[in-house]
Chain A
Amino acid sequence: MPLQPDRVDYSPIIDRPPIKWPNGARVALWIAPNVEHYEYEPEYDGQRDPWPRMPYPDVQQYSYRDYGNRVGFWRMLEVLDKHNIRCCVSLNMAVLEHYPEIKDAMVERNWDFMSHGIYNTRYLNPMSEEQEREFYVDCIETLRRETGKQLKGMLGPAISGTERTPDLMAEAGLIYHTDWMHDDQPVPIKVKSGKLISVPYSIELNDAPLYRQHYEGDYFAEICKAQFDQLYKEGAESGRVMCIALHPFLTGQPHRVKYLDEVLGYIMSHEGVWQTTADDIADYYIANNYDAAVTHAGQLNK
């Protein structure tokens, strides 16, 4: 019996058809700001408590995150603009409705958007199949209505999901899922219908887990550069993906933003970097690499 959940065929990175990114780039770099709204008085779903510190509301934690939308986002944006970064936002869709100035700033810059749920305080785990189906329709329609764009992918809200998530995403027409931390390249995910891939996101080069611990901006800069150096070296053979995940309430703090500047300055000074979005990586991979990867992995696992 295959290992559960049997969504991915084993394929070692040293033995795959090589990936050639556009213009011979070695590394596809995507920057993922998590633009979020956490509800003031969320409904507890009986499984995961959004504000575990105290009875709701938790004004300290609520406003800490709200700082990201009021201040941090705008400070971070200046740095992203300085380096001409086109982001792929991990978006709580309701932000588009709550904060029109943030929406406009993102749309003006032609950023891409992947769903990160409706709110960061509403998780997928307790949803029924029907509820989850409706959830994808809501995400897709909200993005289309607010920005005119077609939704292509998702990072589960607060990285939550169900056993059915990949199947239901593909059924709704989404093409990529970024909850999988299993690779430095996109990977085909087996689904009942359609095509779905994982695009590498990062929970390591990610300000949220880092700054919840004792690490600070200097460490973030150090490991981002080390990550890039390694992937850049390996990307000469077969293209790699590097993602940096940001949260405006963390990276937009006055004591941290300069480290983002340092990292982007370093990476963007290299030739052979495809600064892109998860949407574009997914489209490119599905058009150029998906079939070969599936065939190759299928033969390996025969």
Chain B
Amino acid sequence: MPAERRPGMDHPHYQWSPIVNRGKLRWPDGARVALCVIVNLEHMEWTEPEGSFTTLLAGGMGSRGYPDFARTSHREYGHRVGIFRVLDTLEKHGIKATVAMDAMTAENYPYLVDHCLKRGCEIIGHGISVSRMITGNMTEQEERHYIHSSMDSLAKATGKAPTGWLGPEYGESSRTPQLLSEAGIRYVCDWVNDEQPYRLESPHGDLFALPIMLELDDVVSLWQRRVTVGRYRDMLTEAFDTLYEDGQQNGRLMTLNLHPWLIGQPFRIGYLDDALAHMTRREGVWAATGSEIVDWYQHNPPVA
């Protein structure tokens, strides 16, 4: 619907709130920055499923005819090899991963589900597959069914329904936050518009946004924008330094979104290691999972 010319947002999902006018957000132990690392375990389907929408997915040789061995297998590299490098690197720096796992991964890679759970990762919803985005083309019923079947798969595979959500390729319709909330989700990572968590409107219970730094998403920087991997490391550390500085006044959130098929390649992983070492050697950095951060935020809201 076209916007009405009046103060505030042109949608009902959250209130307008410039960061300079907010109360002070205090993290545990007076930390300046809460660091959350989301690791995507997502399946790219061999053939594009009928009736689904997806963007041109990163990987392989770009756009190629069917069958695209290079692109689908490039992505599979994340499940076979890259994930272990990424989780090892996070663990080395004391970071518990928040794993965004789609239903096809949960159903077909029990080894990875167990592995992530054993390492203490939080697993959050990530749709059915990366080849099936949520979009405004879906009917409400289709979308509800999509969300439920994604969550059911995770509940079955992990023994616990997820409380967090990141849509495949950040996809939403105008109904998504409310439908997620109705399904039991407490926080959503699709909105990339802030450096603090914030409240989303929902009639079904508490719902929060846990915003990702889109420019620091490895696919956006390393694949779409073709930033060199050394420069990407510097982007991570420079972003961190600014947030650390700003976090002295008011707590900041740094949510990274990473893809093991990409950042988990042998020549890239060392740069992530360097960047995380830079961040975690400082005092006042709270590395936490999405739900830990949202729980804290809910119980310790910003104080004016």
Q: Judge whether B226 and A214 touch: CB under 8 Å.
A: yes
Q: Judge whether A215 and B228 touch: CB under 8 Å.
A: yes
Question: Provided the pairs A182-B74, A203-B70, A230-B266 are in contact, do residues A47 and B65 lie with their beta carbons within 8 angstroms?
Answer: yes
- Which residues of the other chain, B, contact A5 by a CB distance below 8 angstroms? 46, 67
The main secondary structure of chain B at its interface with chain A is helix
Within 8 A of A (CB), among B41-63: 43, 45-47, 60-61
Q: Judge whether A13 and B108 touch: CB under 8 Å.
A: no
Q: Is B298 an interface position by the 8 A CB rule?
A: no
Q: Is B173 an interface position by the 8 A CB rule?
A: no
Q: Is B9 an interface position by the 8 A CB rule?
A: no
Q: Is A289 an interface position by the 8 A CB rule?
A: no
Q: Judge whether A3 and B104 touch: CB under 8 Å.
A: yes
Nearest B residue to A214, CB-CB: B226
In the bound complex, CA of A245 to CA of B106 (Å) = 34
- Which residues of the other chain, B, contact A181 by a CB distance below 8 angstroms? 60, 70, 73-74, 77
Nearest B residue to A227, CB-CB: B267
Nearest A residue to B262, CB-CB: A204
Q: Judge whether A163 and B226 touch: CB under 8 Å.
A: no
In the bound complex, CA of A184 to CA of B82 (Å) = 10
Q: How many inter-chain residue pairs (CB < 8 Å) link A and B?
A: 109
In the bound complex, CA of A75 to CA of B180 (Å) = 60
CB distance from A186 to the nearest CB of B (A): 12
- Which residues of the other chain, A, contact B265 by a CB distance below 8 angstroms? 204, 227
Contact of B266 among A47, A213, A227, A300 (CB under 8 A): A227
Q: Judge whether A229 and B270 touch: CB under 8 Å.
A: yes
Contact of A180 among B73, B84, B271 (CB under 8 A): B73
- Chain B 248-277 interface 0/1 with A at a Cβ cutoff of 8 Å (1 = within): 000000000000000001111111000000
Q: Is A147 an interface position by the 8 A CB rule?
A: no
- Which residues of the other chain, B, contact A108 by a CB distance below 8 angstroms? none
Q: Is B111 an interface position by the 8 A CB rule?
A: yes
Q: Is A161 an interface position by the 8 A CB rule?
A: yes
- Which residues of the other chain, B, contact A222 by a CB distance below 8 angstroms? 230
- Chain B 103-119 interface 0/1 with A at a Cβ cutoff of 8 Å (1 = within): 01000110110010000
The size of the chain B interface, using a CB distance under 8 A, is 38
Q: Judge whether A4 and B47 touch: CB under 8 Å.
A: yes
Nearest B residue to A8, CB-CB: B76
In the bound complex, CA of A4 to CA of B49 (Å) = 11
Q: Judge whether B65 and A3 touch: CB under 8 Å.
A: no
Q: Judge whether B267 and A203 touch: CB under 8 Å.
A: no
Q: Judge whether A160 and B65 touch: CB under 8 Å.
A: yes
- Which residues of the other chain, A, contact B96 by a CB distance below 8 angstroms? none
Q: Is B155 an interface position by the 8 A CB rule?
A: no
Q: Judge whether A184 and B46 touch: CB under 8 Å.
A: no
CB distance from B127 to the nearest CB of A (A): 15
CB distance from A292 to the nearest CB of B (A): 17
In the bound complex, CA of A3 to CA of B65 (Å) = 20
Nearest A residue to B63, CB-CB: A48
CB distance from B50 to the nearest CB of A (A): 13
Q: Judge whether B73 and A179 touch: CB under 8 Å.
A: yes
Q: Is A209 an interface position by the 8 A CB rule?
A: yes
Interface pairs A-B: 6 shortest CB-CB: A230-B266, A227-B267, A226-B267, A182-B73, A179-B69, A181-B74
21 contacts between A and B (CB under 8 A): A3-B46, A4-B46, A13-B81, A48-B64, A125-B65, A159-B61, A160-B65, A161-B67, A165-B69, A181-B70, A182-B77, A182-B81, A183-B77, A184-B266, A187-B80, A204-B267, A214-B226, A222-B230, A224-B267, A226-B268, A300-B111
- The interface of chain B, by Cβ under 8 A from chain A, is 43, 45-47, 60-61, 64-67, 69-70, 73-74, 76-77, 79-81, 84-85, 104, 108-109, 111-112, 115, 226, 228-230, 265-271
Can you add 5 more A-B contacts, CB < 8 Å, to A12-B112, A47-B65, A160-B64?
A10-B108, A12-B81, A209-B61, A213-B226, A227-B265
